[in-house]
A and B are shown apart, each in its own frame.
Chain A
Amino acid sequence: MPLVPPPFSGVPSATNHDYVTGAGYNGPFDAVHDRLFIAPAHYALVAYACLIEVGRMAPEGLEMFNRDGSSVEMIGAEHSPGMEVHNGTLGIGLSTAAGLAFGRKRLGHTGRVCVFMSDGEVQEGQTWEAVQAAAHHEIDNLWAIMDVNRQQCDGAMDDVMTVGDIATKFRDFGAVVAECDAHDLPAMRAAAATPHPGRPLIVLAHSRPTQGMESLMSRFPRLHYVRFKSEEERARMNQDIAAELGVAPVALEAH
């Protein structure tokens, strides 16, 4: 895949013979490598940043973010870097991954299928349909890592729709569950290594949405769609966040 993502080249159709997904940015497409779905495709910006950090996408690619005619879309589409399927509607990712994992197992692939999930997706019934199906069919080459930040569009999940103890619920539906601090990489690796023969694995990675950017807590509990409300706030957060991260503030004029 080109380091600078190509422009949008059309949606899948019988006549679009050049169509490709963005999966190539995730690495080789063969029997032994894992596949990754970003179920909340709204996290696309983070996925793009990751691809840049690991050298699979050029930083210039981000200049195309959310620009008309670009494939680096705001909500990751199939053709966006790092994406393989459409996941913009929350709750469909784990089911698709379960189907792919079942198929890969049948083909004798050793590569696994991983889904990055958001905790709000436990409010969707399909998530539970997917877990019960994966458990019933013993799809154990499937695992998910869930960003458990307890936040959703309207605010704190407990205010929007109480979901209770999701670890117990996942176990009751047949998954193996491991939990970790989302900001502790060794702990996350250890959780992901939890054996789960005959069952899917769900890693609940407990995160703080303002980790490293405590000044964002001024917006709590509305932490989705955070935009600067004024030039003054933009300048202040630029200073505060840079100080917390230990980096120089961004030259705002250039962006």
Chain B
Amino acid sequence: MEMVNRPYASAFEAYATQHPEVLCLSADLTSSCEIDGFRDRHPDQFLSLGMAEQNMLSFAGGLGLAGFRPFLHSFGVFLYRRPYDQLMASVAYPRRKVRLMGFLPGVTTPGGMTHQAIEDISVIRTIPNMTVLEAGDATEVESIVAEADTVDGPVYCRILRGAVPRLFTEPLRIGRMRVLSEGDDVLVVTAGITTEEAIRARGALARAGVSVRHLHLNTLKPFDAAQIVDHAASVRHGVVTLENHLITGGIGSMVAEALAEAGLPRRLIRLGLQDTYAHGGSRPYLMQHYGMDALSLVRAVERLTGKGTGIDEDALGAVRIDAVHSLVKAEAL
């Protein structure tokens, strides 16, 4: 699999330098969010706002009022937890074209509870006027920049950084989910880093005779409930959602809402953080520990079909292990 180094850095620079009304805002995590090169090469388009996220959100609202489209860079948690009131009043209510670039979604950081955005989708999708996007590979990280900037209102994006695998060739398009396989036993719905896990599981499941229909989501709000329902209606045994997030309020909840409102009776297993905080550790360890990895998905599929597959960790092939101290990350976070 091709690994791409720092896809956000190059994509943002290429885009922003062509759009002078785009401003690059940072809250003291400039190299951590891969915009240090942009800061050095385009200082006139870069604004350092320091460790003061409440001010940054309202300030960005003011920039939006002046006609600019600020891209805010920080770890996802810092863009909505502390400045929630400012996100509501200064950005979301007036529909400012503010682009919130949230790095380190879910358990992609060993930084523990304070750094892991595990309820961001749940919180932000409930805010009227917000759009929520999530990148799942290098191509989506590259294309999310320009795509987010087409939104007539505020948008929150879950961004991957460092060395990111390239899974897709077609760019991310808002509202267009990816149908990665069209099986008829079980529907699997993933987004972000869980898609790679599901791709690994899918191969092993196919060899075991289980036919998986696999959807990859990159647009979490607006949510295409009708398409989810159509896909769910076309499988025999039920639906598994696998998300890098709490199962409450995120993709599992969205799928449940869609099925319930359509009156489509399908069993649903929601994988992800089960009403718990995570703690600090490597991504593979956390995904295994909290039941968010390929093997957890296989076990959920077995529960739905009622048949064992004989798949074990070895059958899933070599797990991609990220070095915690990767050279393409600014720090160990």
- Nearest chain B residue, comparing its CB with the CB of A142: B62
Residue B85 CB within 8 A of the other chain: yes
- Among A86, A95, A100, A133, find the residue whose CB has the most chain B CB atoms closer than 10 A: A95
- Assuming the contacts A12-B129, A85-B65, A99-B59, asked whether A133 and B50 have C-beta atoms less than 8 A apart, the reply is yes
| Interface pair A99/B65, CB less than 8 Å apart | yes
- Among B48, B67, B94, B95, find the residue whose CB has the most chain A CB atoms closer than 10 A: B94
| Interface pair B59/A98, CB less than 8 Å apart | yes
User: Looking at the complex, which one of A89, A101, A102 makes contact with B85 (CB distance below 8 Å)?
Assistant: A89
Interface size on A, residues (CB 8 A): 33
| Interface pair B65/A96, CB less than 8 Å apart | yes
B47 CB to closest chain A CB (Å) equals 7
- Nearest chain A residue, comparing its CB with the CB of B89: A86
Residue B90 CB within 8 A of the other chain: yes
Contacts of B65 in A (CB 8 A): 84-85, 96, 99-100, 103
B306 CB to closest chain A CB (Å) equals 44
- Scan residues 100-138 of chain A and give those whose CB is less than 8 A from a CB of chain B: 100-104, 106-107, 125-126, 129-130, 132-133, 136-137
Q: Could you tell me which B residues sit within 8 Å of A by CB distance? A: 47-50, 52, 54-55, 57-68, 85-86, 89-90, 93-95, 128-129, 152-153
User: Looking at the complex, which one of B47, B50, B90, B128 makes contact with A92 (CB distance below 8 Å)?
Assistant: B90
A52 CB to closest chain B CB (Å) equals 26
Residue A13 CB within 8 A of the other chain: yes
B131 CB to closest chain A CB (Å) equals 10
Residue A179 CB within 8 A of the other chain: no
Q: 7 nearest interchain CB pairs?
A: A99-B62, A103-B66, A95-B58, A129-B55, A99-B59, A100-B62, A129-B52
Return the CB mask of A10-24 against B: 1 if under 8 Å, else 0.
011110000000000
Q: Could you tell me which A residues sit within 8 Å of B by CB distance? A: 11-14, 78, 84-89, 91-92, 95-104, 106-107, 125-126, 129-130, 132-133, 136-137
A contact face: mostly helix, strand, loop, or mixed: helix
B128 CB to closest chain A CB (Å) equals 7
| Interface pair A137/B61, CB less than 8 Å apart | no
Give me 22 A-to-B residue pairs in the complex whose CB atoms sit less than 8 angstroms apart, sorted by A's number. A78-B94, A85-B61, A86-B90, A95-B54, A95-B59, A95-B90, A96-B59, A96-B62, A96-B65, A96-B90, A101-B62, A103-B63, A103-B65, A103-B68, A104-B66, A107-B66, A126-B55, A126-B58, A129-B54, A130-B59, A132-B50, A133-B49
- Nearest chain A residue, comparing its CB with the CB of B92: A12
Contacts of A87 in B (CB 8 A): 89
A135 CB to closest chain B CB (Å) equals 11
Contacts of A78 in B (CB 8 A): 93-94
A2 CB to closest chain B CB (Å) equals 22
Contacts of A133 in B (CB 8 A): 49-50, 52, 55, 59
| Interface pair A126/B94, CB less than 8 Å apart | no
Other contacts beyond A107-B67, A137-B47: 18, CB < 8 A = A13-B95, A14-B129, A85-B65, A86-B90, A86-B93, A92-B86, A95-B55, A98-B59, A99-B62, A99-B66, A100-B66, A101-B62, A103-B66, A125-B54, A126-B86, A129-B50, A130-B59, A133-B55
User: Looking at the complex, which one of B64, B86, B128 makes contact with A13 (CB distance below 8 Å)?
Assistant: B128
Contacts of B68 in A (CB 8 A): 103, 106
- Nearest chain A residue, comparing its CB with the CB of B48: A136
The docked-state distance in angstroms from the alpha carbon of A27 to that of B129 is: 28
| Interface pair B54/A14, CB less than 8 Å apart | no
- Assuming the contacts A14-B153, A103-B65, asked whether A95 and B86 have C-beta atoms less than 8 A apart, the reply is yes
User: Looking at the complex, which one of B48, B63, B89, B129 makes contact with A99 (CB distance below 8 Å)?
Assistant: B63
The docked-state distance in angstroms from the alpha carbon of A85 to that of B93 is: 9
| Interface pair B50/A136, CB less than 8 Å apart | yes
The docked-state distance in angstroms from the alpha carbon of A68 to that of B62 is: 30
B42 CB to closest chain A CB (Å) equals 14
Contacts of B63 in A (CB 8 A): 99-100, 102-103
Contacts of A126 in B (CB 8 A): 52, 54-55, 58, 86
- Assuming the contacts A95-B54, A126-B86, A136-B50, asked whether A85 and B59 have C-beta atoms less than 8 A apart, the reply is no
| Interface pair B152/A103, CB less than 8 Å apart | no
The docked-state distance in angstroms from the alpha carbon of A89 to that of B95 is: 17
Contacts of A91 in B (CB 8 A): 54
- Nearest chain A residue, comparing its CB with the CB of B59: A99
| Interface pair B59/A102, CB less than 8 Å apart | yes
The docked-state distance in angstroms from the alpha carbon of A126 to that of B62 is: 15
The docked-state distance in angstroms from the alpha carbon of A133 to that of B89 is: 19
A18 CB to closest chain B CB (Å) equals 14
The docked-state distance in angstroms from the alpha carbon of A137 to that of B56 is: 13
